[in-house]
Structures are given as C-alpha cells and as structure tokens.
Structure 1
Amino acid sequence: MRAVIVREFGGPEALEIAEVPSPEPGPGQVRIRVTAAALNPVDEQTRAGALAGLHGPLPHVGIGWDVAGVIDGIGEGVTGFSPGDPVIGLRDRLTEPLGSHAEQVVLDASAVAPSTLDPVEGATLPLNALTAVQALDALDLRTGQTVLVTGAAGGLGGYLVELATLRGLRVAALAGGGDEELVRGLGAEFFVPRGENLAAAVRRRLPGGVDGVVDAAVLGTEALDAVRNEGTFVSVLGDGPRGLRGITVRSVWIRADGRALTALARLAALGRLTQRVAGTYPLAEAEKAHRRLREGGLRGRLVLVP
C-alpha cells in the first residue's frame, strides 16, 4: 500500500509516497481502509521534525492523525466493530511508523468511533474536536461563566466556540477582523478583533476579565492577561505561561477517545458542529497540500483522499 512518510525531516519536499506492507491489526485493534484524512498543522510540525524526540528509533516517520474510512480488518478481542463499518478515528501513538496519510491505517479500537458523516467532512473532526472537548474539560467552568477562545476562526478554535456554547458558556472570540460573522455564527457572544490590545479589549467587554481562556492561537502571557484573578488558562501547545495572579494554568496533550468521538460525531450529524473543508488533494499530492497549508489563510482543513 501507499503511505506518506519522511525519512529525513525538512520542508514539504521531504515527504515521500512510499510503498509499504499493509499493516496488520493486533489484539484490540482495527484496520481502516482510508477514505479521507485531514491535514493539520501538527502534520507540518511532524514533517519538519518538531516532534522528533517523541517518535523513538523508527526507520521512518508516518504522517497523519485524523482518519475517516471503512473497517477492513479486526484484531483479536475487538467487539462492537465489523468489517465494512464506516468510522472515524484518531492516531495518537507517535511511536507507530505509519500515520493516517496512507491507504490503510491500524488503530486501537478505543480510538475509533462509528460515523454517518461524509468521510471528507468527518475526517476534519477527530483531532480538533477532541482537543476542544479535552481543553474545555480542563477549563472546568460552570454554565454562565465566560471563556476567551483565541484563534477562534481556526479549525480548533471553531470547535471550541461551538462546544463551549453548547455547554452554556459565554464566549469571547479573538479572530481576524474579517472573521466576525463566522465566529458569531458559531456562537460567540463577544468578538475581539486581532490587533487590539487583547487584555484591554476583553476587559472593556467583560469587566474584570474572563473566567478562563483556551489559547488555541498560542499567545501565552498576552492571553493570560485577559483572565481574572484566580481564573483558569488552558494551553493546547506546551506548558503555557507562568500562572500569575493565582491563575491556574493547565496544558492539554490530545489523547484518542472513541467514546467522546462517538458523541462528537453525533453532534456533527445533527448539525451542531461545523466541519469546514478548505479543499481536497489526492494522496499522491501530499507535498502540494503541505505547501498550501504553509501559505496560510485557510478557513477549514485540507483533506487527502487516497
């Protein structure tokens, strides 16, 4: 089968479409024939070597976390799935040599969820929506409290706005000036245009500051300053800033969760979560897709289709 790998870290030209043996599912695992696989910023970081210390001694590194497809192999002890079932899933084990940007991928059954979504749209859900859920869980706010979402127009930020709103939180959204209609449509009550002094702009709208922030744009201390004393700051990349003024700082590293993903897929099927596809590329054009991602300006995810 074909898979996107890197043998030496670098730019998009480092990507290789390699012929590799089809992976076999072990105990507790399923094999998925890939229909669609989203391209995320973490895939660009993987290709460039930013996560090199997490992969271990591998002959090559596979690319891709998100997947939508059909189960075509079942390992020992797996129940609840059968060959032919349409599913979505998340590959979060970086020590495995192949990712989801391939014609087949093996995942733990616990990382997979049944799905009725269009596969291209469904492939944009797992990584970003699960990160949003886990970040909001870490925030631990009550109905009616306020949260600032930075990078609110992005793939992760959009799910954060929608899911926070579904939890009854009041959302302040930081995004580019042209994205106000988009983020308000996702449920944001307050809009803060990028370029203003963030803390001052938030505190004008919400005196004293927000109860918490999920920092999808990785602004660090700039976003921390918009939080009230003894509030909560959640980082989705790295440890986050120092917890000044009694602010609790928590970090989230994504983990696969098939049960939570099942609930997210149901919300998406009901139209409560918005999957945004910026474009599709054949698997063979992975390098071109990475170059387009690097250009920026996308509203939604690029998706590779084997």
Structure 2
Amino acid sequence: MGRRQRQPRPRLVAALHAVQRLPEERFEPERPLWIAAFMDEEGTRFNAALFGSRAFTGGDVTALGERADADGITLRQAMAAAGFDLAKAGDADRVSEVGAYLELHIEQGPVLDETGTAIGVVTSIVGLRGYRVRLTGRANHAGTTPMQHRRDALAGAARIALELREAARAREAVTANVGKLTVEPGGANVVPGVADFTIDVRATTAAAMVELEGLVEATVARIAREEGLEPTVERTFALDPLELDPDLVDVVERAAAAAGASSMRMPSGAGHDAMLVGRHVPAAMIFVPSRNGISHSPDEYTAPAHVELGVTVLANALRELLGTGRG
C-alpha cells in the first residue's frame, strides 16, 4: 500500500492466500484448518482491547458493555445498533476446538528494517497494563488565581506522564505511555478542573509488571496529593507476558529457512491476539518488516514483497503442522 493509506487487514488477506496455496499444491491436511478474524484488537474506541480473542478464548466480555466512547455511546449500545447482542458473545468461545495457532503480523517496530532481516520469529509477547485516570481539581480563572492556590488537573497529569516516562527510561525493556488526554472545561483562560487520560505500561517479565503496577498507583496517588487533586484510577486491561510455544517457534524458523528468507528470533513489544489464544493452545507468530519501524500512523508501510514472503513462510509452517499429526 502507498503512503498515507492504511493496509486493508493484511493479516486476513495473507492468511487467505497462505491457505489457498495448500490445495493448489495438492496438499491434503490431516486436520481442519480455520482462518480467524478477531475484531477490535486495538480497543481504541471503548478501551476494550482484544475483544474478539477474549470472547473466543472464553473471557467474559459482558462486563465491558458499559464502557463508553468519546460521544458517550456504550459498547453495548454500539453493538446493538450494528445488530449484535453483547449477551451472546459467549457463543464465540471455540478455543477448546483448536490444536495450535499461528499469526502473521507486521513487526510494528524498527528491528527487522534496520537489520535488513526478512522474517521475525517471535519468541514471546510483552505484558501489558492499561489504566484510565481521572484527576479532579478546581476550575478557576487563569488570570486571577495565584499559582500557589491552583488545583490544576492538567499540571498533575503532565507530571504523572513525565515521571512515568523517566521511570521507564531508567529500566530495561520497559515502556510507559500516556496516549489519550482530555481536559475540562477546556477554556484558554481557565485552570483545568478535570484531566482524563490513559496510561499504558509494558514489560517483558511478570516481576517487572508487578513493579510497574505499584509504580503507576504510587505515582498517581503521590502527585495527586501534592497537587491537591482527587484521583480515580480504573484498570482497563491486564495481560501478563507470554512465552510462545518452543516447538512452534522452531517450526516457524524452519519455514523461513525453507523459503530462503533471513530470520531472527525476537520478542514482541506489542500486544496480539496470540497472547490470549496462546494461553490455551500452542501458539507462534511471524513478523515481517515495518518500514522505518513506524506503526499506528498513516505512514505505516510494509512492502508487498515482504508480505508475500510472510505468506510463503506461513504456508510452509502450515504445511508442516497439518501434515505431521500435531494437534
């Protein structure tokens, strides 16, 4: 796809092409093969990331129904408007019928592109914690309220964002991000009385995730106290790190070699549906390069040749899995 265009669900298209190759090669699988298209992996609108794979793996997603978007529309209402019933989401639970799971994805980072490596063989997926924080202070006139008398919610949010950034920089394989922020009442000459924002923290080990949980809670509480603010913290998602199946990782590595592709083993710093499915069945992932490491941006781009090579590696891996009795 060209510049300033989002790629149209490349994982689904790639899976279709990989599966299509099997009968073209007169390959007879020994067991059923499914193509899965999970909805709302990102969870941008309702803070309900991995919604589809949560439902598929038996997670209770009905509790997410009252989460609202920026316009106050709840997830439950949006689903009903589209003709779906949230109460029936449990019908999607089919993971018990799955023997193994493979996912092809762009790297969303710079490593493959910078090293000139064609295929990433993913060994693990990072742990994540997500929070929605609301700081309540007092809206007041920006010109007549002395600085020492202010209860500025935006100032508190800014301090939290910067402190978490510095804490993450001081640690190995840890990230922290504040990606959404709104203030009220939003006047140019008004001290913000409310700041509503998200926090996303990630780490590669369970111990580091526990440390980050305490860090987020302590940082918000301390800064809110120092700024005279009232904090409310809601944890919107929590997923521990996952080591992918070693045997399937080996299969992917062999599949890349069979395709004549250079490859390297690497962790994933992004969350994926595989991190939920992989807690129930053996799972592995294949990465293809992201140009300049850019993702979640209009400049996101993966060359068609790299996608095609990823399809070949996926097809090679499927051929080995479906023909060896693994399940």
- Superposition TM-score tier, normalisation by shorter sequence: under 0.3
More strand by share: 1
TM-score (normalised: structure 2):
0.22
* Structure number with higher relative contact order (C-alpha < 8 Å, ≥ 6 residues apart): 2
Larger Rg: 2
TM-score (normalised: structure 1):
0.23
